Structure 1
Amino acid sequence: MNAAPDHSPLDWDDTEVSAEAADRAEDLLREFAAEAELDMAVIVDRSGGMVAGVASRPDVDVDTVGALVAGAFGAMRSLARELGESSITESVHHGDKDTIYLREIGPRYILLGVAELALPAGIVREKAAQIAGPLSALLTEPAAALAAAASPESEIAPPPLAPPPVDRSVAQPSPATPPQGPPTPTGPSASTSSGNNRPGYVFEIG
């Protein structure tokens, strides 16, 4: 792994995640990759679609990576169920050169981190746990917004009723006459100083 890899954003097809959410997820992944010294950090959905990712390897085929990540995690979930586990949150695989880390993010997404084998897997797990919550909240924002928009509370309220018309045949009380203040002085003595003649200023700052 390079000492200071340039984590370039990966290209991916459009998914149900908004462009803004994908950009923010990419920022989190870039931070995750830098802190955990990863060669690659990506988020895919369970169907294998790439959501966001950064990598220092220029030869990465994102379509293949996404499909394999989804397949590998699906196989791990099936194995866990077969062994009596209700769910699986993460898995770590050690190869000849790399450590491959997978973690479930919310109900739909999977985080992939690839690090040099010499890097302790505990560091990757710790950093992944730190961003799992923010990533899950970020990627579920669109669904939450759609659910809120479809809820009955979000329907537009009817306009308020107009007040009843006034019956002009009934004598209306005349408005009270405001008290008269002292007469306004005129002449030279009525002029103000230059610091107090700014009309319309309620507050002055600075």
Structure 2
Amino acid sequence: MSDSQNLKLNRLIFYKEDVDLIDKVLQMFLKQCQAKCCILIDKEGHLITHHGETQAYELDTVCTLLAGTFAATREWARLLGEEEFSVLFHKGKKDSIQVNLVGDRTLLAVIFDDRTQLGLVKLISEKISKRLEKIFADSENRKENPDDSMVEGIAKLGEAADDLLDNIFGSD
């Protein structure tokens, strides 16, 4: 099975308490390294959460480009005999960005300027990535045994939505 098929079958599912914990970890991260913002996405480019000064960025575009850049870099790594690179770094005149692979399914992008030291971003990013991996593993373990009533409720909601769309647009 290809990586993309595996990702589609095993989509990330986060519960509210997971997102709250992820948000706390990322807020602490920004405070410690004094970066402008951080963005957490899945490898497909879907935004999970973000913190800091992101208003100046079109987040949908940023997420898509981050995922695409990481996918291209994975191919570069394979050409060089590596499985993949776990960290990407791009330096600009004003801002720089570092992207870390977190676990095997998410990317943490950190945008920072010259007020922030690259070494500090690298060091704290490694620690934060390990903390996020633990949160993801805990979330995944909960996902393996979902509450049957929740699954049934979601299925019924999907059926109700389909019925509503059929009523609005007519069915074939």
TM-score relative to the length of structure 2:
0.72
Structure 2 residue aligned with 1:47: 44
Q: How many residues align?
A: 135
Q: Which amino acid aligns with 1:23?
A: D
Identify unmatched segments of 5+ residues in structure 1: 1-14, 151-206
Q: Which amino acid aligns with 1:39?
A: K
| Identical aligned residues as a percent | 24
Residue 145 of structure 1, aligned match among 139, 142, 146? 142
Structure 2: distance between partners of 1:57 and 1:102: 16
Pick from 56, 64, 67 the counterpart of residue 67 of structure 1. 64
Alignment correspondent of 1:36: 33
Deviation at 1:142, TM superposition (A): 2.5
Q: 1:25 aligns with which of 14, 17, 22?
A: 22
Does residue 1:80 correspond to 2:112, yes or no?
no
1:133 alignment partner in structure 2:
130
Alignment partner of 1:99 is 2:96: yes
Provide the secondary structure at the position in 2 that maps to 1:38: coil
Instruction: Give the RMSD, CA atoms, in angstroms.
Output: 1.6
Shift of 1:78: 1.0
Aligned to 1:164: none
Q: In structure 2, what is the Cα distance between the partners aligned to 1:78 and 1:17?
A: 29
Deviations 1:57-92 (A, max 9, x none): 423222112111111111111111111112211111
Secondary structure of 1:140 counterpart:
helix
Paired residue type of 1:61: E
The equivalent of 1:119 in structure 2 is 116
TM score, norm. by length of structure 1: 0.61
Which one has the bigger helix percentage? 2
SS of equivalent to 2:49: strand
String of CA shifts for 1:31-81, please: whole Å, max 9, x gaps: 111111111111100111111110224232221121111111111111111
Equivalent residue letter for 2:42? D
User: In structure 2, how many angstroms separate the alpha carbons of the residues matched to 1:40 and 1:81?
Assistant: 30
Alignment-mate amino acid for residue 143 of structure 1: E
Q: Higher Cα Rg: structure 1 or 2? A: 1
Bigger RCO of structures 1 and 2 (CA < 8 A, at least 6 apart): 2
